[in-house]
Structure formats: structure tokens, C-alpha cells
Amino acid sequence: MNQDSLKQISEDALKLAKQAGASAAEVDVSFGIGQTVSVRKGETENIEYNRDKGISLTVFFGHKKGYASTSDFSPQAIQATVEAACNIAKFTAEDSFCGLADAQLMAHNVRDLNLYHPWDVSVEAAADIAKQCEAAALAVDPRRISNSEGASVSTSEGHFVYANTHGFLGAYPSSRHSISCSVIATEAGAMQRDYWYTNAREAKDLLTPAIVGQIAGERTVRRLGTRAIKTGQYPVLFEAPLAGAILSSLVSAVSGGNLYRKSSFLLDRLGKQVTSAIFNVEELPHVEKGLASCPFDQEGVITQPRMLVENGILQGYMLSSYSARKLGMQSTGNAGGAHNLVVKDTGQSFAQLVLEMGTGLVVTELLGHGLNMVTGDYSRGAAGFWVENGVIAYPVEEITIASNMKDMLNQIIAIGNDAIPLSAKQIGSILIERMTVAAG
């Protein structure tokens, strides 16, 4: 199904909504296909295909709102969806904050961000790639890497259309591809697992299967031989793949929904210091091939590059039109989330950060969801490596790390230059001055 067909469906739905008496309406129409091939121990294990499509319609009768959706693109189904949304709106309470995003904020010149690169990879070819990846992982240490959770190759592509009764109609295609691998190592009766992956908009930007497999194997073997540690207060270094979780916590705390519900540990902090002065976060929605790039948000609002945090000072919130109205502000083009967050590093490599921390903990895995968004209290299970005198000494597991997210953000003393390229959150390893580290 092509983009023109989806545009026509969106126009038909809006026309029917207006005919039914809606004062305003918005619709998004999407269509996508995908394929995932998984192998384990050199044999093809799973082949999955997906073919998804959907229409989501929201209608407004003044300040009353109704919503309905369907995966059926027939004229009869579209008509029924419009009727359902309109009927729901008639029975909902009025909400003076609901409605379309402001007309002057629409993205009338939709930029091409080079997001669409289909990968015509056959099942056989995908299986071969996955087998190469798994074989590279097993070859890292054939004696100790005794088992595999498998390797997989995924590809997806689709089209997205959004339209509303302001006269806005925007559309863009996108693609996403990935290779991943997870293996298991055994030593002295103890088992450990780890993994690695790569994803990109275009297949040629992926890491090679051999590199993904090698990294997965090396990460797994290095976790063998865990030892106990003493509970205490220590520096903690979150490696780059996990540092994004800290950034996500910050983003959640400055997102409109949590702010207007007063369920954020960063209430009323706009223009104030919220992190260490070395912390700078930029939102770059127009990066070509970016995994979180988009020319407009889910309400048609144009996206704009901006500083979210500058020298530790909060420069802006993450707002949809609804949350913006609740707060007496204007949409920031973040209906649907953030767009390519980039954190400036302080120049050190991962090895230099380990040396700088002296004695402490490197965290390579987090378990559970231990952040209280209201208070900022943070406690999570973790695994990683113990560091002594600036050198990684041995792996550790079944430990707990705890602090308060407000303190953690303000105690960031270094940010590594090892951010994962093409990630939606490009942030290097983060060194935090002090946290409570408890043995399991």
C-alpha cells in the first residue's frame, strides 16, 4: 500500500467526521511490514513476518473528545470508526484543555530526513547473517561459551500519515533494521549470559555480523568468575548502553504529563540547575537517518532543534499540546516523545573513566524498575565489575545500587566519549561521584 492511498484514507476520514458534526478532528494512518529471522546453534529457529496497518481517529465536539481505531481500511470500516468516535465524544465530559495543537505550530514544509531505506533481504540471506553472527560469538571462547540464546536479523519498513482539520497533512516513510546475538558461558558450574546488537535506518550502516557476535561473546566471557563486595558508598560508572536510562529518567521528570500531575521530582525547575554543570543535552530531531528523527510530532507540530539542558540548567520541558495547555505553556513538538537526544561528552575514553574513578563499581546490567518519579528515590539491582586502583578487578552480580536521582544528576563528574552511534539517545558512559552499593 503506497503513501497516496494512506493520504486519501486520512482525507476521507476527516471529511466524514466534519459531516458528522465534529468541530475538529485528527487522524493518523499507518502501514508497515517486517521480517525477523532467528537462529540458534547454527539452525534456523524462527521466521516471523508482520503486516500491520491501522487508522486512529480523534474527534472533538467543542471540548468533548472521542477516539476510535480500526485495522480495516474498507470504506464501511472507516465510516463505522468515525461514527464510533463521534458517539463516544457525545458521552464524555468536557475538558477545556483538549483539542488540536495550535494551527500556527503545524509543520507545513515537511523535511525529508532520509529515513527510508528498505532492505530486500531474503529469509535465507537473513539466516546466513544470523548464523555468521552467532558463530563469531561462539568462536570467542569455544571452551567456555557452551550455549546460545541465538542470533536474529530483523527488518521493517512502513509509511505514516497524519492529518487534521487545520488543513495539515504530513507523511513520511521510514525503515529500521537490526542484528542481535546472545550467548551463554559456563565456568566452574556458574553460567553467565550477555548480548550485543546493532540497529540502523539503512542496512549498510549496521555493524557487521562478525563484530556484533564478537562483542556479544567477549561481554559474556568477561562476566565469569564473579566475587563478592563490601557494602559501602562508592563512585559508580554506568557504561554507555545503560547511561541512556539516566537520561530517560531526566526526560520523564520534565515531561508534561508528570509535570501537570505534579508527579515529578523536578517540579518548577525550568531555568534552574537540575544536573551537574558539565551536563549538556541537545534535542536534534532532524538528523538524517536518525533513529528518533521526525519532521513533525504526533500532532503535526513542527519539530525544532533545541537545548534541553545547558551547563546543568533546564532550558525546556517535553510538552504535547494538551500538557502545554495544562501548564499554561506552548507545545514543544514532543507529542510522542523525545527526538534524538545528544549529550556532550567531557572527552574521556571508557578506560580513562575507569582510571579516574579509582575504586568503585562499573555497572553493565540493571534489573527492575526502581525509580520513584515523585521523590526521585532510586534503587535497582545491578551487575558489572569491581574496580580497584583504576583497574577492573573482577565481575560482580546480585548487588543493589541506591541514591536519589536528583543527587545522581548533580553528582555526574564525567561523561565518556563512547556513545553508541546512531542511537536515539547518544550518551557516553556516565561517572557518578557516589552511590550506595550493597551486596546481595
Is 318 domain-assigned?
yes
Q: What is the CA radius of gyration of the chain?
A: 24
Quote the pTM value: 0.93
Q: Quick one: which of 363, 428, 373, 374 has its CA closest to 401?
A: 363
Q: Do 216 and 233 fall into the same domain? A: no
Q: 9: pLDDT confidence band, cut at 50, 70 and 90?
A: very high
- Which of 221, 245, 262 is where one domain is finished? 221
Longest dimension (CA), the chain: 73
Q: Do 436 and 418 fall into the same domain? A: yes
Cβ atoms of 407 and 398 closer than 8 Å: no
Q: Above 80 in pLDDT, residue 440?
A: no
Task: Please report the pLDDT score of residue 269 as a whole number.
Answer: 97
Q: Do 246 and 177 fall into the same domain? A: no
Is 436 domain-assigned?
yes
Q: Above 90 in pLDDT, residue 22?
A: yes
The CATH number covering residue 141 comes to 3.30.2290.10
Q: Do 403 and 312 fall into the same domain? A: yes
Task: Please report the pLDDT score of residue 331 as a whole number.
Answer: 98
Q: Do 212 and 233 fall into the same domain? A: no
- Which of 169, 192, 221 is where one domain is finished? 221
Q: Do 188 and 303 fall into the same domain? A: no
Is 115 domain-assigned?
no
Number of domains making up the chain: 3
Is 111 domain-assigned?
no
**pLDDT exceeding 90 applies to what percent of the chain?**
96
- Report the pLDDT averaged over residues 233-248: 96
Q: Measured on CA atoms in the order 423, 426, 431, 435, is the torsion positive or negative?
A: negative
Q: What confidence tens digit (pLDDT) does each residue in 267-280 have? A: 999 999 999 999 99
Distance (Å) of CA 124 to CA 44, 127, 129, 153, 156:
9, 5, 9, 11, 17
Q: Do 412 and 340 fall into the same domain? A: yes
Q: Do 327 and 422 fall into the same domain? A: yes
Task: Please report the pLDDT score of residue 1 as a whole number.
Answer: 79
Q: Do 187 and 321 fall into the same domain? A: no
Our CA dihedral for 313, 315, 319, 325, rounded to 10 degrees, sits at 110
Question: What does the buried/exposed string (b/e) look like for 230-257 if buried means 16 or more CB atoms within 10 Å of the residue's CB?
Answer: eeeebbbbbbbbbbbbbbebbbbbbbbe
Q: Do 204 and 139 fall into the same domain? A: yes
Is 421 domain-assigned?
yes
Is 213 domain-assigned?
yes
Q: What DSSP string runs through 247-268?
A: HHHHHHHTBHHHHHTT--TTTT
- Which of 58, 73, 105 is where one domain is finished? 105
Is 118 domain-assigned?
no
List the domain range (segments joined by +) for residue 200.
Answer: 123-221
Q: Do 205 and 246 fall into the same domain? A: no
List the beta bridge partners of residue 395.
385
Q: Do 127 and 93 fall into the same domain? A: no
Q: Above 90 in pLDDT, residue 10?
A: yes
What is the average pLDDT score of the chain? 96
Q: What confidence tens digit (pLDDT) does each residue in 345-360 have? A: 999 999 999 999 999 9
Strand pairing report for 360-367 and 232-238: parallel
Whole-number Å distance between alpha carbons of 404 and 87: 46
Is 39 domain-assigned?
no
